[in-house]
Chain A
Amino acid sequence: MSSTFLGLPSFPVAARESTRDGQLRANLRHATHTIRAKRAVAVGELSDWGELRAAGAAIKDHTLAHLDHYLQQLEQAVTAAGGHVHWAADADEANRIVTDLVHATGETEVVKVKSMATQEIGLNEALAAQGIRAYETDLAELIVQLGDDRPSHILVPAIHKNRAEIRDIFRTQMAAWGRPAPQGLSDEPAALAEAARLHLRQKFLHTKVGISGANFMVADTGTLVVLESEGNGRMCLTLPETLISVVGIEKIVPTFRDLEVFLQTLPRSSTAERMNPYTTMWTGTTDGDGPKEFHLVLLDNGRTDTLADTVGRQALRCIRCSACLNVCPVYERAGGHAYGSAYPGPIGAILTPQLRGTATELDASLPYASSLCGACYDVCPVAIDIPDILVHLRQRVVEGGETVRGGVKTVLEPAKGHTTERAAMRAARWVFTHPAAFAAGRRAATATRRLHSRRLPGPGRAWTDTRDLPAVPAQSFRAWWQRTHTTKGGTP
């Protein structure tokens, strides 16, 4: 695992801070609500959305069920087309492979296409430790990098920043990374984009190594596919002499034709576009056109462990559209950083505890970072039942049980810190399965109702800090029923 996210606080602790940040809340609210509404319109245009969604899920499920086969097929196809394929079991291995490949070119600078996989493994930090500077070229990633910040959204990594904040970052930081921001830069979107364009253009023209991820890898042709909106990705994918792509093994689709489904669902779900502006596809290398060297690093990093879980494996269908983030009321208020990984929002809450396990307090808290409202499942273009997986992972946290870590079957102990809750749940189950006890408890609650405070001490404070408790009524329903409908009803 990369060190970027080590030692971060649990979700509720991080969210306590971020929910109180008025500027952050306002930025997120505005951004997510805007894109949420646009997505609904873009998706609503397609009468066959339901079928596309089902087809996407089916293609992914089929591929995952035969992943070994398709990966080998892909390796053959990429190799036959002049590329080199490397296999990385975890983040460290992937970082080592990429570092060595860059070293072999003799270069110390690389340009990067926006990529989730390289964030997941903390590639930039690993490269920096070896004296290699990685330049992010996606506009939002550039903002995050210049601001020495972390991305907080899959698609819009700087969603937590507004225009004025971005202008300040450009003004103060651009010079340290290359061409400085123009004098008197305003916070007009066009001016900001132009400043970034000038700054990045230099990098594109002079840097000899490009690093990317990929949205899809086609097994039968060996083609990699990157979808983007700015064209900066295409610059990185075509101008450098060497291209290194780090891609999670689940990004594979069997045939070129399968792209038909995802090239419809991904743009509409993520940017609310009917078709994304730039779709770059490449197959190995081509003489006299594009990079002369192409390396594909296939990344596992917890994916085969995830695949071993019959409930949780659905998460590997994800095409990283970020629609689930944009509809999530928890994400909207807590912000992306609280999720403590490259993957924020609902998908992060189910993916991170599977890729990294649930050993840390943060990772064990992620499955609880949801009210289970189900909005994420509704919009997911590959129909991942996120609430179902959340509950499943909660069970892994509180009950422990069998799982696979690093390819080895492991039996997890129930997590610490849930002892009181576990006892309470067990007690409640006993009471509810012994109705006489249930009735007695309710009578006690009713009898002592005048003693009940509207504010609780201890853990209950989490409720009563902001909310009153309901008053316990003088008579339970059951008591009323027995008085008024005595001849009816079952026996207790």
Chain B
Amino acid sequence: MRAALFLTCVNDTLYPDTGRAVVRLLERLGVEVDFPLAQTCCGQAHYNTGYRHEAEPLARRHARVFRDYDYVVTPSGSCAAMVRDIHPRLGGRARAEGRGDGLARDLTGTGTRTYELTEFLVDVLGVTDVGAYFPHTVTYHPTCHGLRMLGLGDRPRRLLEAVRGLELRELAGAEECCGFGGTFAVKNSDVSAAMGADKVANAVRSGAEVLCAADNSCLMHLGGTIARQGTAIRPVHIAEILASTREEPLRLPATGAPVHMTVGRPGTEARARREGTHR
């Protein structure tokens, strides 16, 4: 089977490890991965900030680049939702504005062939045990677009549960937004930071070493909060956990403080700092 990797612009530049992990994982599962170099951005940030017309050429370009693939896989819940849910709306709105069917026509099809990574694994490949090994405690944050727009449900969870050595810890308030929200993080930085701090506090309380999600944008926000707080929990994309094997294990990212094993009861200094910032 052949599938195109739609990596997303954020991952391409800032999180190449996630891209490499997806390639490794899919190739291990017998998928022939292609990375169309002409891909850039799906237009999500433009659209969500109110620049719908600026998003249109990006959506059009995206559809053209991925037109000839039966399967397009992306390690981003929100970009998958953009392509699947929003791109068709762009066509509809253009039509409503009297600009004809062109955009709608150009944007049909790609969405239905686009799969978020965990969907592709569970629904298309039909696997939940991907042969991964990751001997750590992990808590999973279901990001909003994956949870509500795509309806990923328990797919990520089932995949994680099948990972050798991995122990899943419950995340309190899991379904609450982490506060990233694209430009929201900057335009409403105080509320965004408060939401992020609460999410990190819940993750730390879970006692897990790793905070896992299926979207690096959210993890960038949470990881930035974690790094600033000096909290020990590590943000890791689900693709990197699923790609990790006994032979080639993922080593926990070396940034920030070393993982400390009593994360359930954070040191007083870190706690004071955390409470000082958002309570």
Which A residues fall within an 8 A CB radius of B? 11-12, 15-16, 19-20, 22, 25, 310-311, 329-330, 333-334, 367-375, 377-378, 388, 391, 393-399, 421-422, 425-426, 428-429, 431-433, 435, 438, 442, 445-446, 454, 459-460, 462-473, 475-482, 485, 488-492
A378 to B93: give the CA distance in the assembly, Å: 23
Q: Are B184 and A429 in contact, with the CB atoms below 8 A? A: no
Q: Are A12 and B14 in contact, with the CB atoms below 8 A? A: no
A334 to B51: give the CA distance in the assembly, Å: 26
Q: Are A490 and B36 in contact, with the CB atoms below 8 A? A: yes
| Residues in A whose Cβ lies below 8 Å from that of B223 | 468, 470
Q: A12-B188, A432-B61 are in contact. Are A372 and B181 (CB under 8 A)?
A: yes
Q: Which residue of B lies closest to A310 (CB)?
A: B96
| Residues in B whose Cβ lies below 8 Å from that of A490 | 34, 36-38, 65
Q: Are A462 and B179 in contact, with the CB atoms below 8 A? A: no
Q: A468-B224, A491-B37 are in contact. Are A425 and B188 (CB under 8 A)?
A: no
Tell me whether B157 is interfacial, beta carbon within 8 Å: no
Contact of B37 among A396, A446, A463, A478 (CB under 8 A): A478
| Residues in B whose Cβ lies below 8 Å from that of A471 | 255
Q: List 23 A-B contacts (CB under 8 A).
A: A15-B188, A310-B96, A330-B188, A333-B195, A371-B188, A373-B144, A375-B176, A388-B89, A391-B48, A429-B43, A432-B9, A435-B38, A466-B277, A467-B185, A467-B224, A468-B228, A470-B14, A477-B7, A477-B19, A477-B20, A488-B34, A490-B37, A492-B38
Q: How far is the CB of B76 from chain A (nearest CB, A)?
A: 13
Residue of A22, A311, A391 with most partner-chain B CB within 10 A: A391
Q: Are B190 and A489 in contact, with the CB atoms below 8 A? A: no
A489 to B177: give the CA distance in the assembly, Å: 36
Contact of B16 among A425, A460, A465, A475 (CB under 8 A): A475
Q: A433-B58, A471-B255, A489-B35 are in contact. Are A19 and B225 (CB under 8 A)?
A: no
| Residues in B whose Cβ lies below 8 Å from that of A431 | 40
Q: Are B12 and A478 in contact, with the CB atoms below 8 A? A: yes
Q: Are A421 and B49 in contact, with the CB atoms below 8 A? A: yes
Q: Are B37 and A435 in contact, with the CB atoms below 8 A? A: yes
Q: Are B148 and A374 in contact, with the CB atoms below 8 A? A: yes
Q: Are B148 and A19 in contact, with the CB atoms below 8 A? A: no
Tell me whether B189 is interfacial, beta carbon within 8 Å: yes
Interface majority SS on A: helix, strand, loop or mixed?
helix
Identify which of residues 59-77 in chain B touch chain A, using a CB-to-CB cut-off of 8 Å.
61, 65
A446 to B13: give the CA distance in the assembly, Å: 8
Q: Are B14 and A492 in contact, with the CB atoms below 8 A? A: no
Q: Which residue of B lies closest to A338 (CB)?
A: B191
| Residues in B whose Cβ lies below 8 Å from that of A22 | 279
Q: Are B47 and A391 in contact, with the CB atoms below 8 A? A: yes
Q: A462-B189, A470-B223, A470-B224 are in contact. Are A432 and B12 (CB under 8 A)?
A: no
| Residues in B whose Cβ lies below 8 Å from that of A476 | 12-13, 16
| Residues in B whose Cβ lies below 8 Å from that of A388 | 89
Q: Are A333 and B189 in contact, with the CB atoms below 8 A? A: no
Tell me whether B194 is interfacial, beta carbon within 8 Å: yes
Contact of A370 among B65, B181, B189, B190 (CB under 8 A): B181
Residue of A310, A311, A374 with most partner-chain B CB within 10 A: A374
Contact of A371 among B23, B55, B144, B277 (CB under 8 A): B144
Q: Are B34 and A378 in contact, with the CB atoms below 8 A? A: no
Q: How far is the CB of B172 from chain A (nearest CB, A)?
A: 11
